[in-house]
Chain A
Amino acid sequence: MDDLHYSESHEWVRVDGDIGTVGITDHAQKQLGEIVYLELPEVGHVFNADDEFGTVESVKAVSELYTPVSGEVVEVNKGAVAEPGIINDDPQGDGWLIKIKLSTDDEVRKLMTADAYAKYVREEQEG
């Protein structure tokens, strides 16, 4: 069990006060394979929930990143931009992507728990 909230598009959010840290899930990084390029927004950018906030590229494919929560970007993980492999190594820790000052705490409640997300991934794979 963990304290993360999960989206159907395979991002997670960790809430600390009014700051939400966003990243991609371990399942997502496994599906992508070795990540070689990461594009993130500038600090100060404001997003609505489900907006595209960047892209992540593996050797083979590009995927868009969607923020599960609304708010203003207050920090981006420059370490992950410089060394995107960190997302593969530690997707739910050092491989976080952005921190957002949450406009509301309602959105987080609509996201999945770790258990619900694990079930969702299983069902998605079984098609």
Chain B
Amino acid sequence: MDKELMQALARRAGLDKALAEFPDDVAAAADSANSVTARIKVPADPRAEPWPAMKPGDGL
């Protein structure tokens, strides 16, 4: 992720203060998020349901 995109996403997330005071931490967090998603195999079946499923009723 390039620096401009990272900063734009950080600002979109409201992290302006963190970006000003802890720029290295924000950059590290962005790198961490960027690298982790690539390690997940996307289920081949587009109909695959995520866990947990929606449950109707008054369980809450």
**Pair from one complex:** no
